């Protein structure tokens, strides 16, 4: 496992996400009925592949490109929907996502942020908590046609919730940077480059979606 190897694979996965998203955007713009089916396929398929990759890390060379394409389907659809409702929102979200990533990378490299074991435990715990909240919300929507107001609400509490989630998503980048650094230092197997790139891509996709959600709440408010 080497740092250049992780960087090259991360760029490849992000290009797959961006390329698929662009294709979905162009196609769905002229075929609106394809937006939501494409988003559902991407969201559900991406979740399943992400779970498989998490438990079968050595499969990452195969599963991570599949994940990138599936997430591209979802991101392309949701980005088009948001852009149609709030022009200019997508560009803002993209710039903020990469701005946050490079800012945290600089802070990590300069040793301003160093993840202790307590830091890691808190971020991992908070991340699982957010996942549980989202899963409960999905169940409520599917079976009871209701939702948790905080998730989609554009009031002060809804915006505060999104700010917290964006913060947790951003701090997961620090865990990714630490994982990559430690893997390279420990001489991890070559296939771990794919898994590290996959983990970084998952975090960036999540961060982008949460920033998009936060900006849309601020526009509605």
Nearest to 13 by CA among 68, 51, 71: 68
Using CA atoms, how far apart are residues 147 and 172, in angstroms rounded to an integer?
A: 26
State the burial class of residue 22 (Cβ atoms within 10 Å of its Cβ: 0-12, 13-18, 19+).
Answer: middle
Return the pLDDT at 174.
95
Return the pLDDT at 175.
95
Low-confidence ranges of the chain (pLDDT < 70): 221
Return the pLDDT at 138.
80
Using CA atoms, how far apart are residues 74 and 164, in angstroms rounded to an integer?
A: 23
- Region label for 134, one of left (φ > 0), alpha (ψ between -120 and 50) or beta (otherwise): alpha
Residue length, the chain?
221
Token pair of 6 as six digits: 């992780």
Return the pLDDT at 64.
97
| Angle, helices 192-220/35-55, rounded to nearest 10 degrees | 140
Return the pLDDT at 152.
76
Q: What is the pTM of this model?
A: 0.93
Return the pLDDT at 172.
95
Return the pLDDT at 137.
83
Return the pLDDT at 145.
73
Return the pLDDT at 221.
67
């Amino acid at each position: 496992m080497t740092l250049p190897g992780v960087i090259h694979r991360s760029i490849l996965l992000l290009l797959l996400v961006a390329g698929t998203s662009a294709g979905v955007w162009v196609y769905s713009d002229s075929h609106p009925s394809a937006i939501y089916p494409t988003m559902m396929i991407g969201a559900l398929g991406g979740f399943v592949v992400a779970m498989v990759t998490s438990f079968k890390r050595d499969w990452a060379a195969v599963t991570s490109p599949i994940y990138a394409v599936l997430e591209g389907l979802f991101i392309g659809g949701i980005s088009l929907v948001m852009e149609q409702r709030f022009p200019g929102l997508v560009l803002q979200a993209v710039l903020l996502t990469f701005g946050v990533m490079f800012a945290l990378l600089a802070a990590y490299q300069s040793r301003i942020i160093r993840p202790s074991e307590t830091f890691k435990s808190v971020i991992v715990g908070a991340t699982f908590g957010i996942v549980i909240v989202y899963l409960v919300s999905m169940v409520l929507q599917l079976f009871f046609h209701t939702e948790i107001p905080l998730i989609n609400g554009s009031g002060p509490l809804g915006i505060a919730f999104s700010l917290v989630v964006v913060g947790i998503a951003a701090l997961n980048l620090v865990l990714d940077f630490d994982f990559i650094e430690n893997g390279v230092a420990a001489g991890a197997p070559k296939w771990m480059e794919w898994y590290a790139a996959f983990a970084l891509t998952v975090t960036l996709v999540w961060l982008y979606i949460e920033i998009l959600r936060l900006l849309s709440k601020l526009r509605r408010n």
